[in-house]
Chains A and B, each alone.
Chain A
Amino acid sequence: MLAEKNILPILWGGVLVFSALVMTLGSDLKWLFEFPESLHVPIAGFLDWIMLGFVDLFKWLFRFISRVLEWPMRGVQGFLEWLPWLTFASLATFIAWQGGGRRTGILTLVLLLYIVIVGYWYEGINTLSLVIICIPLAVLLGFTLGVWGHKSPKANAVIQTTLDFMQTIPAFAYLIPILLLFGFGPVVGLIASVIFATPPMVRNTILGLNRVPPEVRESGTMSGCTPRQRFWWVEVPTAFPQMLIGVNQTTMCALGMVIIAAIIGGFEDIGWEVLGRLRKAQFGQSILAGMVIVCLAIILDRITLSYAKRQLPTESHTGLRIKQFIVGFIGISIISYILAMFIEPLRIWPKSLEFYPADTMNALVFNIIANFGDVLETSKNQMQYFVLLPVKLGFTRSIFPITWGFALTPTIIGIYWFIIFLGAAIALYFRHWKIAIAIPFIAGILYFGITGVSWVVYLVVLPLFAFSLGGTRVTLFVTGSLIFLMVSGIWVPALVSIYLCSVAVAICIILGGLMGIWASTSERISAIIRPINDTLQTLPQFVLLIPAVMFFRVGDFTALLAIVAYAIVPMIRYTEQGLRTVSPTAIEAGITSGCTPAQIFWQIKLKLALPQILVGINQTTLFGLNMLVIAALVGTTGLGQQIYLALSKVDAGGGIVAGLGMALIAMSADRMMRAYISRTSK
């Protein structure tokens, strides 16, 4: 213990001096700043080679699967297109009502009517039919794997690691090998969705089965069940509520992926519509279409969730009995079908009755931009000049008289470093060695920029950082990941991704933290924020891009906004939850021992809530990295763009390497955070 206490400051001091030397004395050595090509390992090429070999061998099999799947898919699609919208809408409403009562029913009806009236029924149904076919496949697959994982510890170990990877590898990266194996076409979207949507079902199945109380299982055995009876009559029903949560998550994942898969096109669905309109800068249209995605997301979420909630002891709405439900279902089908046969608009909503105010909305957007363009532009520029560029390129390459009002003269540089070292010295004087080390490092990053620091420095600093947080295993993982990113030739885009994500996460921590604190003190604020958070989290990430692009065009800032909008949610949630669950006794103890309100907040509440808040930060980081890839659609550089480019070239090796790189960054961040969390909560 003593040895470790002494060795860490010395190591950090050494690394600090080393980094300073590299950055100053080595500034002329090109190889220090560009990872030497001679050290590259052709991982991408190798993966490509394997992949192509695999494809050559097994293409026939996968193409066969693709064919087999195409039939039911076309069938369902054709059927739903043929079905009068009235029939579909009334049946969906009936199902929603059965699950969640009047409110869910009405909500479903209203949202479906929006889709009808706006004239996106065809596209909406196309998307929905993919989701509808995807759900049973993913649920069945997930259930089977989950049961297997529950029964066999060995299988469980393999399944858990695979799921970890699947959740951190960006969805786009999946698409490439799937494209290669299954060929272009809508089936690819289906298969990608099934793969992407299965993990939550697996997890929840395992969770549910593992959580069946041992006494319940034993009571099955003692009731004289055979193992099979016990499984189907005791274990599965007891785990069923948890599995329904899995169905809900699976459904949402499926929708998200179906929409993302639209970028490979070939299918007239709503994702394609949004993307196409967005690319043509037709914002009114893309908002109207985007709203359709929002409607579908809310409908699917509420219906699946209502069936999951119905299993809870507290739920009062039980709906009809199965037999009555079936009768009602058939009755509604027949009546609505007959109605639709006689009244044409109830079958196919006529163009003339469509309400499609895209032009008005475009005019409105132009108006806003015309009126507030200056404000928008200024805020964007300020953010660019004073935050994004310094973090990315460093003060040396971002401070210019036109933007900052002064040039970076040697005097100013001198003053800058003088203040920094003064700060570090003061911290050292008060024996806060961690702060004393952190100040020059942060100052250095701002000075040189994340992309301007030598890879050698990263290679010593990050492993030491991981070691200080976690221990040997985390350190090895982080080091391995760094080496992978460097030798596979994606180091520069990786740094760009890290830069954008760091800024987004920092903003999320500050803004989300403040909002969480606010929400924890006021029921009203909490009640306002919660549904917004819920909605942000159920929406396919893709939709968040629309408003960002609308007002700020493409670029880093736009991506930043979209990432923050998505990744801020866990930060707010966990902060609020952490603060709210601080035990009242601890606070009372503080009050009675004479703490001021400020002391109570900082030293008791925040301290006790810290583990939760850290979990929130961890989630926010993962969400941010996840969204980063989606944001590549609106033109960020970095790993996301690499994946996207690889996708358009169907370059399997490149795509997998970039996707793996992204996953390794996410997993490294996650492991470091978790190591730290487990240490602080002890």
Chain B
Amino acid sequence: MPSANSVKLSCESLWKVYGNNPEQYFTDEIGSFNVEEKFQNLTENGSIIACGDVKFDIPTGSIFIIMGLSGSGKSTVLRCLSRLVEPSFGKVELDGLDLLNQSPKDMIEIRRHKMGMVFQNFGLLPHLNVLENVAFPLKAQGISKNERLARANEMIDLVGLEGRENSYPHQLSGGQQQRVGIARSLAAEPEVWFLDEPFSALDPLIRTQMQDEFLRLQRQLNKTIVFVTHDFHEALRLADTICIMKDGQVVQIGTPSEIVLAPADDYVKKFTSEVPLWKIIEAQSIMEPPDGKEVDRPSVKPDTLLEEVMRLFDGKTEEVQIVNESGECHGVLTPVSIIRALYRDEKKVG
């Protein structure tokens, strides 16, 4: 699991406040003030807290998804991580390097070599064709024309746009434009990949297709990813970790099944209510302790989804055992425990 890996990107006590002169409220050290008090002060003063007191760690090579309703501050957090938006307060660390202390010049170097970003409405340059758009980050670095076009061509092949190199953005469909956006963001071979609702502007069918492509790319490239979406299903499909935001604050951080099984509050519960739980919950997260019986029953791996477990219950089978790689029995599942989980029996959950 990625959680075992080192932390690539992290933030702590991250605030972005819009309003009249919010800096005056942030004179003290991190952790030295009362967060609720600060929220109250700022709100009374008429400021808008786009995000407040946000903290998380993102392990190398994992997909971290920020999810929330529109206006909940997702884009703001994402932009604070790359300093597209200057945070009002807090700490952002990339590979242990304090980003907020970097000079503008150093920041440009970091963006050139370590960061890539995909935008909701693509953000393509209308006057450049596909090839030039993809090569643009390399042009900014001052790489020679031949080399950058060769690299751009590779990227175009990677996202499956061969043959459209000379088209202009307006000649492409939304899905194709976003492929260009993706190719461009990867052209400089970044380590951290930011995506702000990359598929929200696309039709549902194309969206699913792009999500598959995204997973394929990630298997191939293994980047550290921060992905923003307002679509809970998308988050469940793609995430290693989901961070749920509401009104600028983090409500819950956890794996998809943690979030689904143990929603932190009603806000999160609302998202999970329409989710087909059997497609998300893994056998190990709701199994009961092993009973030690030596009967003939089907075995499944710990991370098998309930969907598959349920298929095993035919007329004769009444239990399924969960067995790890070395053949040890970890626990058992019965139809009753599954039904309880799906109906959210509070006792069982957690």
Chain A residues with a Cβ under 8 A of chain B: 213, 215-216, 218-226, 229, 233-234, 237-238, 240, 311, 313
Contacts and interface: CB of A to CB of B under 8 A. Distances in A.
Contacts of A219: 117, 119, 123-125, 181, 184
A229 B127 contact: no
Contacts of B125: 216, 219-220, 233-234, 237-238
B188 interface: yes
B140 A229 contact: yes
B108 A218 contact: no
B121 A222 contact: no
B117 A218 contact: yes
A220 B126 CA distance: 12
A311 B113 CA distance: 33
Contacts of A237: 125-128
Interface in B166-198: 168, 170-171, 181, 184-185, 188, 194
Considering residues A220, A223, A313, which has the most beta carbons from chain B within 10 angstroms of its beta carbon? A223
| Chain B binding surface, main DSSP class | mixed
B111 interface: yes
Closest 10 CB pairs of A and B: A224-B112, A219-B123, A313-B170, A215-B123, A223-B137, A222-B117, A237-B127, A215-B119, A224-B140, A224-B111
Interface in B90-141: 108-109, 111-113, 115-117, 119-128, 136-137, 139-141
A229 B225 CA distance: 27
B84 interface: yes
Given A219-B124, A234-B125, A238-B125, A226 B184 contact: no
Contact of A223 (B120, B136, B170, B171): B136
B62 interface: no
B82 interface: yes
A225 to B, nearest CB: 5
Contact of B126 (A222, A223, A229, A238): A238
Given A224-B141, A229-B140, A313 B111 contact: no
B168 A222 contact: no
Contacts of B168: 313
Contacts of B79: 218
Given A216-B125, A238-B127, A240-B127, A224 B120 contact: no
B55 to A, nearest CB: 24
Given A219-B117, A313-B170, A226 B108 contact: yes
Contacts of B108: 224-226
Contacts, number: 73
Nearest to B115: A222
B96 to A, nearest CB: 21
A213 B121 contact: yes
Contacts of B171: 313
Nearest to B110: A224
Contacts of A229: 140
B122 A215 contact: yes
Given A222-B116, A223-B136, 9 more contacts: A213-B123, A218-B84, A219-B124, A220-B125, A223-B140, A224-B108, A224-B109, A224-B137, A240-B127
Contacts of B128: 237
20 contacts: A215-B119, A215-B122, A215-B123, A216-B125, A218-B79, A218-B84, A218-B117, A218-B123, A219-B117, A219-B125, A222-B111, A222-B115, A222-B116, A222-B117, A223-B184, A223-B188, A224-B112, A224-B113, A238-B127, A311-B127
Contacts of B124: 216, 219
Considering residues A213, A222, A238, which has the most beta carbons from chain B within 10 angstroms of its beta carbon? A222
Contact of A222 (B84, B141, B170): B84
Nearest to B185: A222
Given A215-B119, A215-B120, A215-B122, A222 B127 contact: no
B223 to A, nearest CB: 14
Contacts of A223: 111-112, 136-137, 140, 184, 188
Contacts of A220: 125
Contacts of A221: 84, 111
B86 to A, nearest CB: 12
